[in-house]
Amino acid sequence: MRWWPGLRRTDGALLTVLPALVATSVAAGDLAFVTNQSSSDLSVLDLDKRSETARIPVPGQPAGVAVSADRGWVFTVSPETKTLRKFDLATGAELNATVLDGGPIGIALAPDGGRVFVSDWYNARIWVLDAAAMTVETMLTTGSAPAGLVVAPDGSWLASADRDADQVSVFDLASLTLRHAIPVGTRPFGLAVAPDGRLFSADVGSNTVTVADPVSGAVLASIGVGERPYGIAFAQGAGFVTNQYADTVSVFDLDDLSVSATIAVGEYPEGIDVTSDGGMVVVANWFSNTVSLIDAKTRTVSGEIATGDGPRAFGRFIAPADGRTE
């Protein structure tokens, strides 16, 4: 069963919530902050220990997530209660919350952590908020049903996957104006920017990944992947794409865009991110209540960690354990 804002996933029992604080003494590896929609909480996973260290209650069936390691913040979006929350990355304490209207779903942060962007599925727009004050500065108009968001590493542009418009909107962040409406595959959902600056969209309706130039607005290529691609991440010169219906991750080479591997993971994989050293790809399996750990070099599953019920992790959800970038 596919989730859209306001629709619950009902299979699977809720798990007991652990104390709502991140352990103050952790291993020197990365932490993953995984939103669990069905159990309404946030699993904190120590990727070195390969275990859950805490479970933070997050009311309202959270899906979207974004981590600001520089600022020491974790943001979640709960579509059921229309609430954006900010947590302290080190302690797990809730710092602030803002109730939005419409259908908040996707989230992304400016590289300096100063602004947070949230897509409104129902009203074809993006909220632009001050990340510290959690106040709305302005709104940007998108195509129909915007979902995933991504910001350029240099902070120059913001893109939204406009699912029902079959397009990606690219906005100039200096002027907050629309640069391009790029036609992509059918029903784009997740977005990612590659190390070389190219923009990639996961097109759930056409089982493709569209490659575009966010500066010129040109479509560069289309890659055939597995059934219902959802999220994209990059590591070791390759793109990794979660395929919801296939229970797999497709791997394509960033040079020639050919699919070179298909990796079996848990049931209904969705959110995907990469550790700070680029060595591990982490995949949230919504129906399995786990994350799969993929060795990015060998392209094999090296482990699995249990989470709460219904992990989504829609966004960038991994941070260094000490809460700081290298």
Q: What's the pLDDT score for residue 322?
A: 62
- % of the chain surpassing 70 pLDDT: 90
Q: Which residues contact 301 (CB under 8 A, 6 or more apart)?
A: 263, 264, 265, 292, 293, 294, 295
Q: What's the pLDDT score for residue 320?
A: 84
30-220+314-320 — its CATH code?
2.130.10.10
What are 138-171's pLDDT values in tens digits?
A: 999 999 999 999 999 999 999 999 999 999 999 9
Report which secondary-structure segment, H or E, holds 306: strand 300-306
283, 275 in Cβ contact below 8 A? no
* Domain range list for the chain: 30-220+314-320
Q: Residue 16 in 3-state DSSP?
A: coil
Cα atoms found within 13 Å of the Cα of residue 258, Cβ hemisphere only: 2
6 pLDDT band, cuts 50/70/90, is very low
Query: What is the average pLDDT across 97-115?
Result: 96
63, 9 in Cβ contact below 8 A? no
Residue 181 pairs in a beta bridge with 169
| One-letter amino acid of 272 | I
CA–centroid distance for 314 within its chain:
3
What are 200-252's pLDDT values in tens digits?
A: 999 999 999 999 999 999 999 999 999 999 999 999 999 999 999 999 999 99
- What is the pTM for the complete model shown? 0.91
CA gap 298, 167 in Å, rounded: 34
**pLDDT > 60? residue 22:** no
Residue 178 pairs in a beta bridge with 171
**pLDDT > 80? residue 19:** no
Report which secondary-structure segment, H or E, holds 134: none
Nearest Cα to 247, choosing from 234, 261, 260, 228? 228
What are 64-96's pLDDT values in tens digits?
A: 999 999 999 999 999 999 999 999 999 999 999
Q: What's the pLDDT score for residue 7?
A: 36
Burial 119-138 (b: 16+ CB within 10 A, else e): bbbbbbbbbbbebeebeeee
**pLDDT > 60? residue 21:** no
